[in-house]
C-alpha cells in the first residue's frame, strides 16, 4: 500500500467508523465525542474520540491510538488485515473513494458514503431488485426461497444520493447491510439477531439442541441453504464485537451449549474461546470448513464443484442437490 493511501486511511473518521458498526455516542461536543467503550460492557462513558486529531482513548484501560489501532481491537485482526479491512469498507471525502473493479454496477448502486455523513433510511421493501438477487444466488450461492423471509431491500440516502442494499434486521430496529460489491454497513442500532425462537416459527424447535451461532447473516443464509430443515435455535451476532451481548442473551435463557459457525481467523477463534471461557459447551464447527475463510466460502466452493460435476455428467438430473454440511 502506498504511503498516501495509509495516510488517507488514518484520516478516515473514527466517529463514522463506529457509526457504521452501530455504535453511537453518549455525549457529543464540537471537539470530542464520548462513548460507552465498544471494547467491553460498561454503564458510564469512558471512551473518547478527539474529532480534530481523529484519535481515540479508553480511559479505563489507559490505551488509545488511531483508527487502525481501534480496528485491530474491535475486529481482533492483525495490522495488515486492519489496513485491508479499512481500505475496503471505509469511504473518504471526494478526494478518495475505495477502488471498485465492478464497472458493470450502476453508479446509483455503489454506496460511496462521505465522511461524517450518516445514512438516512428512506424505504423498506420485501422484494430485492434483480441485481441483488443475482448477487445472492450467483456469487453467494444462497437459496432465495429460504433466505427471503429474513431479508429486506433497504433504500437509504446519503446527502442527496439514494442507494439500495440487502438488509438483515435485528430486534432493536437496526439492519446489517450488504450490496453486490464490497460495501458492508449498518443502520443503527446494531444488535444481535435471534432466529427460530419458539415465537418466530411454526415448526418444531428442539430446545435441547445447541444454539447455532453465526458471525454474520451471510453464513446463516448459507446454513439455511445447506439444510433441508433447521430444528435448532440460531443466533446471528452481526459482529464478533457482539460476543458479550450474545453471552448475556444465552445466559438469560439458560442455554448452556452452542455450535459456533465463526470465521477461520483470529477474531473468530477468539470469539469461540470467549464462549468457552464463560462456561458454554462449545462445538467449533469451523473444523468442517478449516481450509476456507468462513462457512459461506465453503458453501460456495461446494455448490460450484457440484455444478461443474453435473455439467460433465449430462445423464444426471439438472436439478442441483443441496450441499449438506454433516451436522448432527
Selected residue with higher pLDDT from 61 and 133: 133
Alpha-carbon span 219 to 203, nearest angstrom: 22
pLDDT for res 157:
83
Work out the pLDDT band at 92, boundaries 50, 70, 90: very low
| Stretch among 18-27, 83-92, 266-275 having the lowest mean pLDDT | 83-92
How far apart are alpha carbons 210 and 259 in whole angstroms? 6
CA distance to 104, 154, 234, per residue, from 259 (Å): 39, 30, 9
- Identify which of 87, 91, 16, 5 has the alpha carbon closest to the alpha carbon of residue 51: 16
Q: How far is CA 220 from CA 23, 91, 230, 296, in A?
A: 23, 27, 11, 8
CA 234 to chain centre: 15
**What pLDDT is attached to residue 106?**
44
SS (H, E, C) the chain: CCHHHHHHHHHCCHHHHHHHCCCCCCEECCCEEEECCCCCCCCCCCEEEECCCCEEEECCCCEEECHHHHHHHHHCCCHHHHHHHHHHHCCCCCCCCCCCCCCCCCHHHCCCCCCCCCCEEEEEECCCCHHHHHHHHHHCCCCHHHHHHHEEEEEEEECCEEEEEEEEECCCCCEEEECCCCCEEEECCCCCEEECCCCCCCCCCCCCCCEEEECCHHHHHHHHHHCCCCCCCEEECCCHHHHHHHHHHHHHCCCCEEEEECCCCHHHHHHHHHHHHCCCEEEEHHHHHCCCCCHHHHHHHHHHHHHHHHHHCCCCCCCCCCCCCCCC
| Domains of the chain (ranges, CATH numbers) | 3-89 (3.90.580.10), 108-187 (no CATH), 193-300 (3.40.1360.10)
Q: Taking a C-beta distance cutoff of 8 angstroms, is the pair 258, 275 a contact?
A: yes
Grid cell in block for residue 146:
429460504
265-288 b/e (C-beta count within 10 Å ≥ 16 → b) = bebbbebbebbeeeebebbbbbee
User: How many Cβ atoms are within 10 Å of 293's Cβ, its own excluded?
Assistant: 12
Residue 89's pLDDT band (boundaries 50, 70, 90)?
low
108-159 pLDDT tens trace: 444 444 433 467 889 999 999 999 999 999 999 999 999 999 999 999 887 7
pLDDT of residue 4 exceeding 70, the answer is no
Distance CA 57, CA 114 (A): 24
pLDDT class of 217 with cuts at 50, 70, 90: very high
* Interatomic CA distance for residues 257 and 124, integer angstroms: 35
The model's confidence at residue 2, banded by pLDDT at 50, 70 and 90, is low
Task: Answer whether 0.85 is exceeded by the pTM.
Answer: no
Residue whose entry in the numeric block shows the C-alpha cell 462457512: 295
Indicate the burial class of 219 (C-beta count within 10 angstroms; 0-12, 13-18, 19 or more). buried
Amino acid at each position: 500500500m502506498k504511503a498516501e493511501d495509509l495516510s488517507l486511511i488514518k484520516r478516515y473518521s473514527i466517529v463514522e467508523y463506529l457509526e457504521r458498526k452501530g455504535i453511537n455516542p453518549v455525549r457529543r461536543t464540537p471537539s470530542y465525542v464520548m462513548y460507552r467503550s465498544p471494547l467491553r460492557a460498561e454503564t458510564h462513558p469512558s471512551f473518547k474520540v478527539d474529532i480534530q486529531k481523529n484519535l481515540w482513548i479508553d480511559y479505563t484501560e489507559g490505551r488509545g491510538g488511531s483508527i487502525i489501532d481501534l480496528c485491530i481491537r474491535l475486529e481482533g485482526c492483525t495490522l495488515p488485515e486492519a489496513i485491508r479491512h479499512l481500505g475496503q469498507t471505509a469511504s473518504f471525502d471526494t478526494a478518495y473513494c475505495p477502488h471498485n473493479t465492478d464497472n458493470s454496477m450502476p453508479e446509483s448502486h455503489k454506496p460511496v458514503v462521505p465522511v461524517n455523513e450518516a445514512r438516512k433510511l428512506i424505504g423498506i421493501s420485501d422484494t430485492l431488485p434483480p441485481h441483488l438477487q443475482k448477487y445472492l444466488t450467483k456469487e453467494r450461492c444462497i437459496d432465495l426461497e429460504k433466505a427471503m423471509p429474513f431479508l429486506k431491500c433497504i433504500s437509504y440516502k446519503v446527502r442527496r444520493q439514494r442507494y439500495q442494499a440487502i438488509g438483515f434486521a435485528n430486534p432493536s430496529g437496526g439492519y446489517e447491510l450488504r450490496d453486490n460489491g464490497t460495501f458492508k454497513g449498518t443502520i443503527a442500532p446494531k444488535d444481535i439477531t435471534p432466529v427460530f425462537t419458539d415465537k418466530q416459527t411454526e415448526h418444531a424447535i428442539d430446545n435441547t439442541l445447541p444454539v447455532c451461532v453465526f458471525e454474520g447473516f451471510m453464513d446463516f443464509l448459507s446454513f439455511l441453504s445447506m439444510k433441508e430443515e433447521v430444528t435448532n435455535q440460531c443466533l446471528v451476532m452481526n459482529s464478533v464485537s457482539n460476543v458479550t451481548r450474545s453471552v448475556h442473551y444465552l445466559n438469560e435463557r439458560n442455554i448452556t451449549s452452542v455450535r459456533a459457525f465463526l470465521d477461520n481467523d483470529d477474531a473468530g477463534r477468539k470469539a469461540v474461546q470467549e464462549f468457552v471461557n464463560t462456561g458454554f459447551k462449545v462445538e467449533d464447527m469451523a473444523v468442517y470448513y478449516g481450509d476456507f475463510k468462513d462457512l459461506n466460502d465453503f458453501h460456495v466452493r461446494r455448490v460450484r464443484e457440484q455444478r461443474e460435476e453435473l455439467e460433465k455428467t449430462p445423464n444426471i438430473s439438472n436439478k442441483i442437490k443441496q450441499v449438506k454440511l454433516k451436522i448432527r
